[in-house]
Amino acid sequence: KSKEAEIKRINKELANIRSKFKGDKALDGYSKKKYVCKLLFIFLLGHDIDFGHMEAVNLLSSNRYTEKQIGYLFISVLVNSNSELIRLINNAIKNDLASRNPTFMGLALHCIANVGSREMAEAFAGEIPKILVAGDTMDSVKQSAALCLLRLYRTSPDLVPMGDWTSRVVHLLNDQHLGVVTAATSLISTLAQKNPEEFKTSVSLAVSRLSRIVTSASTDLQDYTYYFVPAPWLSVKLLRLLQCYPPPDPAVRGRLTECLETILNKAQEPPKSKKVQHSNAKNAVLFEAISLIIHHDSEPNLLVRACNQLGQFLQHRETNLRYLALESMCTLASSEFSHEAVKTHIETVINALKTERDVSVRQRAVDLLYAMCDRSNAQQIVAEMLSYLETADYSIREEIVLKVAILAEKYAVDYTWYVDTILNLIRIAGDYVSEEVWYRVIQIVINRDDVQGYAAKTVFEALQAPACHENLVKVGGYILGEFGNLIAGDPRSSPLIQFDLLHSKFHLCSVPTRALLLSTYIKFVNLFPEVKTTIQDVLRSDSQLKNADVELQQRAVEYLRLSTVASTDILATVLEEMPPFPERESSILAKLKKKKGPSTVTDLEETKRERSADVNGGPEPAPASTSAASTPSPSADLLGLGATPPAPAAPPPSSGGLLVDVFSDSASSVAPLAPGSEDNFARFVCKNNGVLFENQLLQIGLKSEFRQNLGRMFIFYGNKTSTQFLNFTPTLICADDLQSNLNLQTKPVDPTVDGGAQVQQVVNIECVSDFTEAPVLNIQFRYGGTFQNVSVKLPITLNKFFQPTEMASQDFFQRWKQLSNPQQEVQNIFKAKHPMDTEITKAKIIGFGSALLEEVDPNPANFVGAGIIHTRNTQIGCLLRLEPNLQAQMYRLTLRTSKDTVSQRLCELLSEQF
């Protein structure tokens, strides 16, 4: 029927139930249960229920199972932790737990777990462990108690006390009832991640139980055999528990090795059933066993056998198995024991790259090729990746480009091959070649004398193509500006031809590339005096001197003036060849680490070890710019701040220079923070733009941008009156400990602000180390003869230097385990201050700076994020997990980082946002 008819029928039923509850005649238990059940059904249909709660609580005291069951079901679904009835409910639960009736105890434990609130944890977290380890507790109740305790620990770990029961719960792994063992294993696995010492005795017991399972016949464990596979879920849980610990003692290790060999042997046996459930259960145990072998990384024989087993799956007809095999082999490739075994499957992996229909499997194939690459097969793998790149899915092209660039650099014996590979990369997928890639090729060319002439010749030939990607123009402009003289002797690449070739691309390029080409032209003035007049004519043209873009106009004016007034010697000094870049971590590797997450750290370290000593890394180069020009380089980062200049730094500016150290300004008397300053400060934690302060006279607006450990903030001061502000002096004030952790530089502003006018101040920011406090912005001025003094907190917070990191679920939880020291984790459970809206929460986490990782947490209602805090001194990996409890209107926020002060500060900042 229609929606209206349904609502009419439900309203009629609600009125009838309400009259029954309010009637003079007392209802019997059956009637009460029936009406409460109807209310529950109506609620599940999507209608609000505002009565019947007391009747449901009364059902809890019934001695009939069905009535008590409906009461608990209603409570679990409709009663939140803020309810006034919670005390009555807790009393009823306590009575049932004390009754020793297994059926009633089970219902009570299920209710506690379903509600799972902090209040439930406070009331029962001390009682449930006693029930769990009591000798007279029934098996079914033990199962429920273990899972209930696990639920409370996940909700409120600080309220679950560790004590004598922990050593006794470990012995549940020896219980005769496999249901109890399964529940206990789930509980111990979770507890052991945070308290490994408390549960280390579980290792030998887990190995013993696993041994009994894998050596048993399918008929031995009839109740727990799934399609001829004995206890597959318990086996998987035990294998995961063992991954919380390093390899065990030799005696236990021998037995564990036998178990793992047995699992690998069973995988080779013909299937006992053709049904998919049999193969799924069998393979689940196998893959978890391989994960444990990889985790221990100590048995060469097992690692090679695991690799061979996975190699068989690479051509399996089941897509999921092919995906899992590729993913596991990526990890195996990083082990010294199994790397060579993985390499034997290179042809199969290349074939998968070409023929696989599923894009996610193709992406794993790319990952595996990257992981198995070494000097013996680098050229083959790079060639295959380049070939695949022409038809690759758009979603993975950027990642393939990064990997090709890294492999070409890492394993280049002949650097002419490296240059050819990168130029080929730009030709095939120029749109996906990030700045880091072409920065890197320039760094290497500048640092290697033997490849400079070849690079100049190659880019000159590549630029002759009718259509060139803009990244190729950038590389060509930079290299020809530095080394064009090395090919100028050939009439086919004379100075004028080089200039005409570059200038023919000029009008097609974006502003940053044009700025780079102007820098190349002024370099040509020094390298080739014969084209000086031609270049001056270009710089003198109206399209340059009157360009609408201030950067291009400034460059044209300065370069023209430099070429006119400077002597040959001065020009040669100012425009000399760029010096070699200092050795730093490759920026491409850093980008891949950000993209793929902390799991690539090992690979980065290997890259550092294997990189040739004479190939220096470095910060992103400023493109062919001069040491005289103070203009920001177009190839610098988005902020225009650039990295550390490769040339020796000029002497610091005098006190009359443009840049003034903000710390030298000391306010005569600093006003206390303006009312509402703290609230406004908190609003900017997850956003960069907006109004920071406003009163009847003055409005302060902010616009900020941050990248890695650098930032730039534009502060706009608006005069809301019709009268001038005189002696207008904004000052940034930092506490002593903040000065050493945060470098701020600002340009002074005009001391007079006209009525209705707005002035802008730029603050350049560098994060040296992690910090807690924020700088204070103090503004002093005179308005109509009255002295005004305003102070506000400037929202420069640690999370602004976040770089988001995407990672898969396995990588996330692997890293989460690594950060398991108590001092690395900070957790906060707090009441929601704002409506708990999913989309707003997602936006705030992204605005906070971390990547929002979808489908990582087993609970889809939870939010998981990852990122890296960049400072000048170090990089700090950060993982966060936000668990909302809509029923209780509360959140639990957990942050894990490699530095305790960072965990604490990020937790404080983010907690205030919800």
What are residue 422's phi and psi, to 5 degrees? -70, -40
- The pLDDT, as a whole number, for residue 295 is 87
Question: How many angstroms separate the CA atoms of 793 and 889, rounded?
Answer: 30
Question: How many angstroms separate the CA atoms of 304 and 333, rounded?
Answer: 11
- Which residue do the tokens 């399972």 mark? 213
Question: How many angstroms separate the CA atoms of 537 and 525, rounded?
Answer: 12
- The pLDDT, as a whole number, for residue 837 is 82
Largest CA distance in the chain: 112
- The pLDDT, as a whole number, for residue 591 is 62
Check if the beta carbon of residue 105 is closer than 8 Å to that of residue 131.
yes
Number of other residues whose CB lies within 10 A of the CB of residue 607: 21
- The pLDDT, as a whole number, for residue 628 is 34
Nearest partner of 377 among 402, 401, 342, judged by Cα = 342
Residue 875 clears pLDDT 90, i.e. is over it? no
- The pLDDT, as a whole number, for residue 639 is 33
Average pLDDT over residues 317-327: 90
Average pLDDT over residues 325-348: 87
CATH number of the domain located at residue range(s) 373-575 in this protein: 1.25.10
- Which residue do the tokens 């509600």 mark? 115
Residue 239 clears pLDDT 90, i.e. is over it? yes
Count of CA atoms in the C-beta half-sphere (13 A) of 908: 11
Rg (CA), the chain: 34
What are residue 355's phi and psi, to 5 degrees? -110, -15
503 residue type, one letter? H
Average pLDDT over residues 244-265: 89
Nearest partner of 434 among 408, 464, 401, 412, judged by Cα = 401
539 residue type, one letter? L
Residue 642 clears pLDDT 50, i.e. is over it? no
- Helix 900-911 to helix 838-848 angle (10° resolution) is 140
Average pLDDT over residues 436-445: 84
Band (pLDDT 50/70/90 cuts) for residue 461 is very high
Architecture per CATH, domain 677-796, reads as Sandwich (2.60)
State in Å, rounded, how far the first CA of the chain is from the last one.
42
909: which 2 tokens? 């900042």
Residue intervals of the chain classified under CATH 1.25.10 are 297-372, 373-575
Note the pLDDT tens digit of each residue in 489-531: 888 989 999 999 999 989 888 999 999 999 999 999 988 889 8
Q: To which CATH superfamily is domain 799-912 assigned? A: TATA-Binding Protein (3.30.310.10)
Residue 612 clears pLDDT 50, i.e. is over it? no
Report in angstroms the alpha-carbon separations of 644 from 103, 206, 594, 622, 847.
70, 54, 21, 10, 28
724 residue type, one letter? Q
Q: What angle do CA 653, 658, 664 make, to 5 degrees?
A: 70
Residue 783 clears pLDDT 90, i.e. is over it? no
* 539 against 600, higher pLDDT: 539
**What is the DSSP secondary-structure string of 3-20?**
HHHHHHHHHHHHHHHHHH
Nearest partner of 618 among 652, 651, 589, 575, judged by Cα = 589
Band (pLDDT 50/70/90 cuts) for residue 41 is very high
pTM: 0.58
34: which 2 tokens? 């029936």
- The pLDDT, as a whole number, for residue 514 is 93
Look at the domain 297-372 and name its fold: Leucine-rich Repeat Variant (1.25.10)
Residue intervals of the chain classified under CATH 3.30.310.10 are 799-912
Note the pLDDT tens digit of each residue in 109-153: 999 898 888 888 888 888 888 888 888 888 899 999 999 999 999
Average pLDDT over residues 169-174: 88
Note the pLDDT tens digit of each residue in 282-321: 999 999 999 999 888 888 888 888 998 888 888 888 888 9
Nearest partner of 780 among 658, 699, 668, judged by Cα = 668
**What is the DSSP secondary-structure string of 856-895?**
-SSSTTSEEEEEEEE-SS-EEEEEEEEEEETTTTEEEEEE
Question: How many angstroms separate the CA atoms of 247 and 299, rounded?
Answer: 10
Residue 82 clears pLDDT 70, i.e. is over it? no
**Mean pLDDT (the chain, rounded):** 82
Least-confidence region, from 240-249, 287-296, 330-339: 330-339
Residue 599 clears pLDDT 70, i.e. is over it? no
Question: How many angstroms separate the CA atoms of 523 and 909, rounded?
Answer: 48
* 393 against 637, higher pLDDT: 393
Average pLDDT over residues 94-117: 89
- The pLDDT, as a whole number, for residue 427 is 86
Band (pLDDT 50/70/90 cuts) for residue 589 is low
Residue intervals of the chain classified under CATH 2.60.40.1230 are 677-796
Band (pLDDT 50/70/90 cuts) for residue 206 is very high
- Helix 250-268 to helix 300-313 angle (10° resolution) is 20
Number of other residues whose CB lies within 10 A of the CB of residue 513: 20
Average pLDDT over residues 267-291: 88
- Which residue do the tokens 């789930």 mark? 186
Residue 574 clears pLDDT 90, i.e. is over it? no
Band (pLDDT 50/70/90 cuts) for residue 81 is low
- Kindly report the length of the chain: 914
- Helix 359-372 to helix 378-389 angle (10° resolution) is 160
Q: What DSSP state is assigned to residue 492?
A: G
Alpha helix positions (H), 23-52: 29-44
CA 211 to the chain's CA centroid: 38
Least-confidence region, from 33-42, 473-482, 600-609, 894-903: 600-609
Check if the beta carbon of residue 143 is closer than 8 Å to that of residue 106.
no
Where is the binding site, in residues? 20, 30, 34-38
249: which 2 tokens? 């003692």
Residue 186 clears pLDDT 90, i.e. is over it? yes
